[in-house]
Amino acid sequence: MPRISFEFFPPKDIEGSFRLWRCVQTLAPLQPDYVSVTYGAGGTTRQLTHEAVTAIHKTSGLPVAAHLTCVDASRAETMEIAESYAAAGVTDIVALRGDPPKGTGAFRPHPEGFTSSVELIEALAATGKFRLRVGAYPEPHPEAGSTQDDVDHLKRKLDAGADEAITQFFFEAETFLRFRDACAAAGIDKPVTPGILPVENWAGVRRFAAACGATIPDDIARAFENAEHAGASDLLATALATELCEALVDEGVDAFHFYTLNKPEMSRDVCHALGIAPRPALLQVA
């Protein structure tokens, strides 16, 4: 049975807070290895992420990984955030360069900040306080020239002290398997976990895919267009995500990271289809 983890984003209002807690409550009985909480572009949710991470850590009994970027912050500010997580008992970090604020163009380092994810990882690893995860791209990142460039950059991040990687989402098992082979050929021997995105909103996923370089196969695009007309989008999305995971399990993959978008039911249903049964609830949230 594969190991699982889930990604959430921090709430921006009271309604979002209730949605996040419902998401945690729905998925906690599956006993994930950990859950993670994202950062907004340009560090726009820095405080919200910190509050969500510490609250989930205190109330759920789940290991929580905090996303941390080096956008729009000095080295001292970034490390202060990391130390505050350690002080709160949060010792898992997803270390990322981060995206610049929308409309500002390409990434520009803060004058006193880390210039890359590799520098951030080196600093975090030097503390000896954290388990570090990093991002990986099974298809070329928009800023990369090729998949090999992404593999080489991933190796630099892992060599800098990261413990494992989580990939961007993809739609075909072969996409991940080719990337896994390329990583092995480059001498990467740390875990690379595939990121799975059950499609809750087809229009939104098309935008995400265009932004991150994920290829949408023509047959999947046609299937979702037809399913939307028939009111069967959720059934199709669950079936496709389950089929993708099963194909990867058949190739020896033993862990998945689900991008929930704070809508937990589809990720839960895919896990159930993989034979991952709920266990007694872990939450103590009132």
What CA–CA distance (Å, rounded) separates 144 from 147?
Answer: 8
Report yes or no: 116 and 143 within 8 Å, Cβ to Cβ: no
15 is catalytic: no
- Residue tagged active-site, from 7, 143, 164, 228: 7
Return d(Cα 63, Cα 97) in angstroms, integer: 23
What CA–CA distances, in Å, run from 234 to 187, 199, 200, 227, 265? 39, 8, 7, 9, 10
Residue keyed to tokens 């047959």: 219
* C-alpha closest to that of 196 among 247, 133, 144: 247
CB atoms within 10 A of CB 10: 24
**DSSP code of residue 28:** G
- Short-list 242, 227, 251, 240, CA closest to 274: 242
Interatomic CA distance for residues 233 and 231, integer angstroms: 6
Amino acid at 92: D
Tokens matching residue 188: 């990467």
Show which residues are catalytic. Answer: 7
